Copies of this chain bind each other. A is one copy, B any other.
Amino acid sequence: MELYAPLFSDPAVDAHFSADAQVRAMLAVEVALAEAHAAAGLISRHAVDAIRAAAQVERYDLQSLARDAARAGNLAIPVVSRLTRETEAIDPAAAKMVHLGATSQDVIDTGMVLQLRAALPSLTEHLERAARAAARHARRHRRTPQAGRTWLQQATPITFGLKAAGWLDALERVRNRLQRAASEAFVLQFGGASGTLAALGPDADVVARSLADGLRLELPSLPWHAHRDRLVTLACALGVVTGTLGKIAMDLALLAQTEVAEAHEEHATGRGGSSTMPHKQNPVSAAVALAAAVRVPGLVSSMLAAMPQEHERGLGGWHAEWEVMPELVRLTSGAARSVGDALEHLAIDTARMGSNLEMTRGLIQAEAVVSALAPRLGRSAAHAIVEEASRRAAAAERPLAATLAEHADVVRVLSAEMISRLLEPGEYLGQADVFVDRVLAAWGRDGEDDA
């Protein structure tokens, strides 16, 4: 047992990559293969029944399978050998019909595809959950002013709704791409020793089609033993999902800083505490997603680096995928679960958003003033004037309004009232509202969660 699995991954996803689930998936491929042979009239229904009965994962000693896999070099060899023995005990004739025409890689790759297909819905459900929560924030806070920050400096005002709409839009994009990559990767692997299905003679194609149908997988034009682009594209899509989750987590962690305090994860008791500091409320969910965002790029690079596989079936590159691909799904699921949780249980302090906007005594509105001055003075001159006024205001800890009022060119062009209005963050939100509406409309489920 890996002690950090419950922290870093979603248990529902994790379950699909247990030793148990892995063997189960491989056995499912073997049973479906027997079915396909039977459908083609090549083996009897009796044989299929015996193989299916023998293919109950409970019959298998996982530790001895692991030991034998270490010797054989892959897991299919001991699984097939055990399945054959188990079948033999039930029906000796049927045992001769196990694994017909397939190679180890057929079973391992197709088994992996089955595991991935089983695991993805939990992951995407977390992404949808995160999207719903982001949508709720976008809707509720579409007019809540907040400091926009660039280069980690307050820049110009935005709304918290706009920030949330950015999250939502990105979550939808990456979820859609993930599903597309998944649907393209869920393809049967069935080629026999070198990808010709020669061992099956003329029946090969019928068996292959039937096997694909039985497993509800696409039948490719030809086996993909050494061409891993579909799987790696899925790995990349997982990587981009995690990157986006990391971006959201980064925002949450920064907003939760003691000195910013505009939003924080509301924790169930015991979450995010400290063994020594009773006041701490650590952003655990953000930490999980950020950790995933640190780890996943390296795993994706391993999948890419493994692509140049030798000839018909590779050496080393293929083996490298076996643990990496599940790890990618697990880490992405943990990040998705965590960001889903954090967005659903996000405590938002709009008052603090407001007071943080006052913190610079008007500097955050510098661009607004430039924009107002530019048509009359030119953008460069306006920029220079406001830059100078900003510098003096900052140095003396005075309001920008005061230093602006001391500037003849400004006073000539803007009344005190106009300046005062220009320094109001809530009056300088631009298209924030429009953008939020557009994102919510594209999402298409506006309002459904607020009943």
CA distance A313 to B163 in the complex (A): 11
A80 is an interface residue with CB less than 8 A from chain B: yes
Contact with B along A274-286 (1 / 0, CB 8 A): 1111111111101
Closest chain B residue, CB of each to CB of A309: B247
CA distance A426 to B345 in the complex (A): 36
Closest chain B residue, CB of each to CB of A299: B298
CA distance A280 to B429 in the complex (A): 18
Interface size class of A (residues with CB under 8 A): 35 or more
CA distance A155 to B40 in the complex (A): 27
Residues of B within 8 A of A97 (CB): 379
User: Dominant SS at the A interface?
Assistant: helix
Closest chain B residue, CB of each to CB of A260: B259
Residues of B within 8 A of A4 (CB): 66, 69, 75, 322-323
Q: Is the CB of B279 within 8 A of A363?
A: yes
Minimum CB–CB distance from A430 to chain B (whole Å) comes to 3
Mark out the residues of chain A between 279 and 296 whose CB falls within 8 Å of any chain B CB in the assembled complex.
279-284, 286-296
Contact with B along A219-262 (1 / 0, CB 8 A): 01111111111101100110110111011011101101111100
Residues of B within 8 A of A34 (CB): none
Residues of B within 8 A of A282 (CB): 73, 150-151, 153, 315
A387 is an interface residue with CB less than 8 A from chain B: yes
Closest chain B residue, CB of each to CB of A296: B304
Residues of B within 8 A of A177 (CB): 229, 233
Q: Is the CB of A95 within 8 A of B226?
A: no
Closest chain B residue, CB of each to CB of A322: B4
Residues of B within 8 A of A163 (CB): 311-312
Contact with B along A417-451 (1 / 0, CB 8 A): 00000000000111110111011001000000000
Q: Is the CB of B100 within 8 A of A277?
A: no
Q: Is the CB of A222 within 8 A of B298?
A: no
Minimum CB–CB distance from A230 to chain B (whole Å) comes to 7
Residues of B within 8 A of A188 (CB): none
Given A152-B310, A155-B280, 11 more A-B residue pairs with CB atoms under 8 Å apart are: A8-B319, A104-B276, A154-B259, A165-B221, A169-B220, A233-B236, A291-B316, A293-B305, A294-B302, A295-B324, A301-B301
List 6 contacting pairs A-B, 8 Å CB cutoff, sorted by A: A100-B374, A151-B310, A151-B313, A155-B277, A170-B227, A196-B431
Chain A to chain B: the 8 pairs with minimum beta-carbon distance, closest first: A290-B316, A148-B194, A243-B307, A198-B430, A196-B430, A298-B298, A96-B378, A278-B387
